[in-house]
Chains A and B, each alone.
Chain A
Amino acid sequence: MHVPDGFIDAPVSVATGAVAAAAVAVSLRGARRELDERTAPLAGLVAAFIFAVQMLNFPVAAGTSGHLLGGALAAILVGPFTGVLCVSVVLLMQGILFADGGLTALGVNITNMAVVTTVVAYAVFRGLVKLLPRKRRSITVSAFAAAVISVPAAAVAFTLIYWIGGTTDVPIGQVFTAMVGVHLLIGIGEATITALTVGAVIAVRPDLVYGARGLTAPLKLRVNGELVDTPAAEPVPVAARSHRGVWLVGLAASLVLAGFVSFYASANPDGLEKVAADKGIDAKAEDHAAADSPLADYGVEGLDNARMSGGLAGVIGVGVTVVAGTGIFWTVRRRRTPETPSSGASPSGTSPSETSSVAPGNSA
């Protein structure tokens, strides 16, 4: 899925470049929290691993073979931030050294293959691990699900980018069907290999699998014939950490997309609206209750310039969504805090115990 030069037009390439740069900046900070000063050698070696494993051919049938893409695998094995970094570095080096993927399309490639796959895979993985029983098998099952969803998700992201900034007027429905169809198949292969690989690592070094942290049963001591929990040395697996960086960058990206990119987006009605207009479906449709709200039909009243008003409406929409979302999130958290008073006490940030729980020899 390496996109070459000339596939996506210049403004969208620049916009995705900005998104990719922001994502890499956030990951640099996050990875430092995941690995601290070991970031450079460990992330570098994991990037080399991903680079090598992409060369490992998995025969499918009748002479065809596929290979791993590695976004989901990286996210599960080393964590989302380090995963984004590793895949981005692999893509950067492939672009500069092997001319695999265009230099101007670097932003598109990183956004698609490093950010979307890794983030989607990790979100799905985390969610499933929380839902499923705390066993090793559920880690492999979640890894399968994460990888199977992450690959078509990247295809959807590509279709979206192509829709905004594609240089050829191919019907977007066909692009979508072709991309997602092919990548559903690829996703199944990717998922099988990812799950098997994660299973193989878990069998030998479960402590290395980032996604399986906190899964190890607490150590028990047998004192006078009965089992007792080991005293307090238990490190907190995932300490509360500040998501402000992620939050700010996400907000900035959506504002840019809503305000700036919608400026470039077509002013024509979208597919559904067009079909409705053509078939006369909308003849009977009544204007709904919000029709005379100031944001109706994504435009701000009193602004003549259609694009300006569309962009402004996008920005206001994002603002309202963020405020509403934050409000809900805040109330939910407020309600939850009385049950666990200790969670409020630990300050956000990096406690030294958080990072020293990985390997015995890292504090040299």
Chain B
Amino acid sequence: MGAGHAHRLYRHGHSPVHGLPPHTKLAAVFAFVLIVVSTPREAMWAFGLYALLLAAVAYAARVPAGFVLKRLLIEVPFVAFAVLMPFVARGERVDVLGLSLSVNGLWGAWNVLAKGTLGVAASVLLASTTELRELLLGLQRLKLPPLLVQIASFMIRYGDVIADEMRRMRIARESRGFEARGVRSWGVLAKSAGALFIRSYERGERVHLAMVSRGYAGSMPVIDDVTASRAQWTYAFALPFAALVVCLLGWTL
């Protein structure tokens, strides 16, 4: 994750999914992931259907499969953990290719892999069809405390600025012949981190003063208040509703 990644997440487009109001999309993704997590792991076909549902959304949003698959790589550390599970879990054991594996652990690994992957794919689709500013607006519409939304928006806006500052410090270090290797260089890197903190904090104070001088009194004015029609809510919730049907089938069958 290098600097400026915040812009690479979003994939510009004019699909029906892009056009939905952000809070409906956020609510739909949360509901979808919650439903996926509460599906019994024995219903393997249900997860296949969920994946098909997400593929349909990706198709409607015109997000290419390669884009989503590449972003799924973030999951890799937990895949490693899941692979370990069959070896350490308790319970009945089976022999697969000469290895003694726990049945329970195999189910657990499948559970984490399937649900984790679906969750990541859903968030990737959300992030690639919603602009950052819209996402924050959506969080605000979903009644997240305004102060929290403001903090998040400052973090998003200045994240790149701070990361760039860090990059400039790295270039300055390297142009003076510094090369980070081993524990001995931690002192230098920590001093950079300290300097970065001071710069961030002082920038925060300047930003606050600039805001106060423009009439800030603790809350941000809402300029574009997005509202969603009933049709848009229905459209966005088509995904979790379909998932709910699958989930109920998974519990009963």
Q: Which A177-204 residues have C-beta < 8 A from chain B?
A: 192-193, 196-201, 203-204
Q: Which single residue of chain B is at the shortest CB-CB distance from A102?
A: B119
Q: Is the CB of A89 within 8 A of B189?
A: no
Which secondary structure dominates where chain B touches chain A?
A: helix
Q: Which B18-67 residues have C-beta < 8 A from chain A?
A: 26, 29-30, 33-34, 36-38, 41
Given A37-B218, A59-B182: A200 and B195 interface contact (C-beta under 8 Å): yes
Say whether B232 faces chain A, with CB atoms less than 8 Å apart: no
Tally of B interface residues using CB under 8 Å: 91
Q: List residues of chain A with CB within 8 A of the CB of B228.
A: none
Q: Which B195-210 residues have C-beta < 8 A from chain A?
A: 195-198, 200-201, 203-205, 207-209
Q: Which single residue of chain B is at the shortest CB-CB distance from A6?
A: B115
Q: List residues of chain A with CB within 8 A of the CB of B248.
A: none
Q: List residues of chain A with CB within 8 A of the CB of B203.
A: 45
Q: Which B85-115 residues have C-beta < 8 A from chain A?
A: 85, 88-91, 104-105, 107-109, 111-112, 114-115
The answer for the CA separation of A193 and B190 in the assembled complex, in Å, is 6
How close is B70's CB to chain A, nearest CB, in angstroms? Answer: 12
Flag A1-23 by CB within 8 Å of B: 1 or 0 each.
00011110110010000000000
The answer for the CA separation of A100 and B2 in the assembled complex, in Å, is 15
List the one stretch of A131-139, A335-343, A356-364 in contact with chain B.
A356-364
Q: List residues of chain A with CB within 8 A of the CB of B191.
A: 196-197, 200
How close is A59's CB to chain B, nearest CB, in angstroms? Answer: 5
Q: List residues of chain A with CB within 8 A of the CB of B122.
A: 103
Q: List residues of chain A with CB within 8 A of the CB of B165.
A: 52
Q: Is the CB of A89 within 8 A of B151?
A: yes
Say whether B181 faces chain A, with CB atoms less than 8 Å apart: yes
Q: Is the CB of A48 within 8 A of B158?
A: yes
Q: Which B116-135 residues have C-beta < 8 A from chain A?
A: 116, 118-120, 122-124, 126-127, 132, 135
Say whether B162 faces chain A, with CB atoms less than 8 Å apart: yes
Q: List residues of chain B with CB within 8 A of the CB of A58.
A: 180, 186, 189
Q: List residues of chain B with CB within 8 A of the CB of A51.
A: 155, 159, 162-163
Given A13-B37, A44-B151, A52-B196: A4 and B159 interface contact (C-beta under 8 Å): no
Tally of A interface residues using CB under 8 Å: 75
Q: List residues of chain B with CB within 8 A of the CB of A200.
A: 190-191, 193-195
Q: Which single residue of chain B is at the shortest CB-CB distance from A359?
A: B205
Say whether B153 faces chain A, with CB atoms less than 8 Å apart: yes
Say whether B212 faces chain A, with CB atoms less than 8 Å apart: yes
The answer for the CA separation of A198 and B197 in the assembled complex, in Å, is 10
Q: List residues of chain B with CB within 8 A of the CB of A6.
A: 36-37, 111-112, 114-116, 119
Q: Is the CB of A44 within 8 A of B150?
A: yes
Q: Is the CB of B186 within 8 A of A196?
A: yes
The answer for the CA separation of A48 and B158 in the assembled complex, in Å, is 6
Please pick, from A61, A100, A168, A196, the residue contacting B105 in the complex, using a CB distance under 8 A: A168
8 shortest interchain CB distances as A-B pairs: A44-B154, A6-B115, A168-B108, A200-B194, A196-B190, A5-B119, A45-B204, A4-B116
Write the residues of chain B forming the contact surface with A, with a CB cutoff of 8 angstroms: 1-2, 6, 9, 26, 29-30, 33-34, 36-38, 41, 71, 74-75, 78, 85, 88-91, 104-105, 107-109, 111-112, 114-116, 118-120, 122-124, 126-127, 132, 135, 145, 147-148, 150-159, 161-163, 165-166, 180-183, 185-187, 189-198, 200-201, 203-205, 207-209, 211-213, 216-218
